[in-house]
Amino acid sequence: DTGVSQDPRHKITKRGQNVTFRCDPISEHNRLYWYRQTLGQGPEFLTYFQNEAQLEKSRLLSDRFSAERPKGSFSTLEIQRTEQGDSAMYLCASSLLAGYSGNTDTQYFGPGTRLTVL
């Protein structure tokens, strides 16, 4: 039983550098989400995909952020020109949204990538 995995688990970078994170969802899940969590707060929604289509982006996701899920499986989140305010835990989650109306998509989270921008 493989859960959601994220790589790397920790990333330290200097301000202005670009970083990329990877998320591998649970294999049969068609939805993939990115959240950001800062200390003392709950996860904040950034964006999500259904298969390869990016269906919604939060206003938190500035132009420096881009996410992809090219084949509907793994996803990457890239942050360009990092700023100190980008320091946070970046969480990925996946869910299975089936075709029948009774389903509600419970999201299962990975361990997160902790980003520190110096």
Question: Which residue lies nearer to another protein by CB, 14 or 102?
Answer: 102
Identify the residue among 17, 51, 55, 81 touching another protein (CB under 8 A).
Answer: 55
- Residue 2 binds another protein (CB under 8 A): no
Q: How far is CA 60 from the centre of its chain?
A: 13
Residues 94 and 33: beta-carbon distance below 8 Å: yes
How many chain residues are in contact with another protein, going by CB under 8 A?
Answer: 31
- Residue 68 binds another protein (CB under 8 A): no
What is the number of alpha carbons within 13 Å of residue 3 lying toward its C-beta? 9
Question: In the 3-class helix/strand/coil scheme, how is 43-60 assigned residue by residue?
Answer: CEEEEEEECCEEEEECCC
User: Under the rule (CB under 8 A), what is the footprint of another protein?
Assistant: 4, 6, 31, 33, 35, 40-45, 48, 50, 55-56, 58, 91, 93, 97, 101, 103-112, 114
